[in-house]
Structure 1
Amino acid sequence: MTERISWYVMRTVLGKEQEACALVEKKIDQSLWECCRILKKQQLFRTQGRYLLCRKEMFPGYIFVETRFPGELAEELQKARQFPQLIGSGRAELVSIEPEDLRFLINVCGRKLAQDMKLSTVEVDEKGQVKSAAGVLAPYLNQITRQRLRHRYVMARVQLFNRQEEVLFGIRMEGDPA
């Protein structure tokens, strides 16, 4: 019987996500995993009165792995001491991403979680409040908890990972870089 392919998440040392993915790619047999990802988002960064497009980690300290064999993959990870710490009980187990969480991740990063979460284009009302959004923010418009238009982001409360998470969405306004 063939196992169903699913996405799992692992915790790693903050700032060492790239090294963790490189270790998986270099040291773990490719037959045990399909994809290893660090989820990224686009954000505008203001410098000298101009906005520059940059990329940041969506979930610092976490990597995402697609596999049919979570048990076997966890065993291989446990054998190598330099691999990421695993979420959960401290034993070698990968934490499965729930279907509703995966829907959110696919919505913002694409089917294989390979795309950056794109900027959403927003319009503001005369009071400076976001009134509409195009892009990944649109379904969460009514859940905005904080906005920093000058810094080109909003925070929205999203049901994610079995709790309410404050997710930062990068935004752009008319005239900003694409």
Structure 2
Amino acid sequence: MLWYVLQTRTGEEEKLAGLVHRMIPKELYGECFVIYQEQLWRRQQQNFVHMKQAFPGYVFITSREPKALFFCLKKVPVMAKMMADDECFFLSVEKEEAEFLKKIMNQNHVIGLSYLLTDGKGKILQVSGPLEACVPQIVKCRYGKRNVLVRLKLLGKEKTVLLGIVLKEDLEQGVRDWKGERGKQGTG
């Protein structure tokens, strides 16, 4: 299956994915999804896992029949308007880009937290989780904010994305999910 991106307004991604699921024949596509990522938030000396979109404005769709899919998308009124307003609505994802995204996300299309072990002075000693696949692309580490800035290629252009990290002290202190439930956080 080839990967494509449907571009939409930020905040409208799930709505567009829902429209595709309801209005486009299933035989024209494999999956239609939004990629999310986990971020660690620190509030009042506690750690919480928060989910946010990894690529705002992008809905990913896989298809073996992109031409038929494109023409079917054009028949959906909301999508026809988006296509008329923006010629870059339906974009092809290169094979290497799709493989990279598959490597860093799980089957639920979520990029989990990566565990980073540092020397205490900022040097990374060990990485596990999704970030393992892109250590050379790390542009900036923001340990206090619990994320790293990674440069990657998507739709033929270089983009930077923040990926969430968890440090040793976070695991020792414990991590809660966004519902406030205490638990051991998996890394990927």
TM-score, L = length of structure 1: 0.85
Which residue of structure 2 aligns with residue 47 of structure 1?
A: 43
Q: Secondary structure at the match of 1:83?
A: helix
TM-score, L = length of structure 2: 0.81
Q: Write the letter of the residue equivalent to 2:91.
A: V
Q: CA RMSD in A?
A: 2.3
Q: Write the letter of the residue equivalent to 2:21.
A: E
Q: Secondary structure at the match of 2:110?
A: coil
Which residue of structure 2 aligns with residue 101 of structure 1?
A: 97
Q: Write the letter of the residue equivalent to 1:115.
A: H
Which residue of structure 1 aligns with residue 30 of structure 2?
A: 34
Q: Secondary structure at the match of 2:78?
A: coil
Confirm or deny that 1:62 pairs with 2:30. no
Q: What is the count of residue pairs matched by the alignment?
A: 171
Q: Write the letter of the residue equivalent to 1:105.
A: L
- In the aligned structure 1, how far is the partner of 2:37 from the partner of 2:3? 19
Q: Secondary structure at the match of 2:77?
A: coil
Which residue of structure 2 aligns with residue 156 of structure 1?
A: 150
Q: Write the letter of the residue equivalent to 1:41.
A: Q
Consecutive aligned runs of 4 or more in structure 1 exceeding 6 Å deviation: none
Displacement of 1:136 in angstroms is: 1.6
Q: Which sections of structure 2, spanning at least 5 residues, go unmatched?
A: 176-184
Q: 1:10 aligned to 6, 16, 26, which one?
A: 6
Q: Write the letter of the residue equivalent to 2:67.
A: G
Q: Which sections of structure 1, spanning at least 5 residues, go unmatched?
A: none
Q: Secondary structure at the match of 2:150?
A: strand
